[in-house]
Amino acid sequence: MLSELRPQVLSILNTNAEVSVRLQEICNLLQENISYYDWVGFYFKNGNKEELKLGPYAGEPTDHTIIPFGKGICGQVALSNENFVVPDVQAQDNYIACSINVKAEIVVPLFVNGENIGQIDIDSNTPDPFNSEDEDFLEFVNKEVAKIL
């Protein structure tokens, strides 16, 4: 299923639309086509500050528009530069709840020229839905997104 979306991701990113519009379309595509991707969004490093700022997203509105480095799953990925798959958010001490419905989360860092400049964040209302195929797919998405940033 995920591999079938790769050509659509490339098609969206290869248009001449504004970057923010293309990122929004990626969020919409993933959220609408992957049943367990209930919230899909991009966070980006906020200038020189040690924090992330919410970019385009699809799903329920969130109050978490700014996330300090080290706080929550996203903030931890900003420091670790590594994928973080959380099968059960309740089992995480350093978790920022966006919705009581969220059961699992996956965050994959976004690198431009070797620098972690942001990430894609997926929340799922399904317990433990993510696997290595999700990680591979989201790494692919971020590699392609990096080319337009």
- Please write the tens of the pLDDT for every residue from 19-46: 999 999 999 999 999 999 999 999 999 9
* Rounded Cα gap, residues 116 and 7, in angstroms: 25
110 φ/ψ sector (left φ>0, alpha ψ -120 to 50, else beta) = beta
For residue range 32-88, what is the model confidence (pLDDT) as tens digits?
999 999 999 999 999 999 999 999 999 999 999 999 999 999 999 999 999 999 999
Quick check: 111 and 139 in contact, CB under 8 A? Answer: no
- Residue 53's identity, in one-letter code, is K
As for how many domains the chain has, the answer is 1
DSSP string, 93-146: SS---S-TT--EEEEEEEEETTEEEEEEEEEESSSS---HHHHHHHHHHHHHHH
Per-residue pLDDT, 100: 86
Task: Give the global pTM.
Answer: 0.97
- Give the integer Cα–Cα distance in Å for 15 and 94: 38
Alpha helices in 45-115 (DSSP H): 72-80
Tell me the CATH number at 40: 3.30.450.40
**Residue type at 95 in one-letter notation:** Y
Domain enclosing residue 13, as ranges: 2-146
Residue 140, both tokens: 């692919």
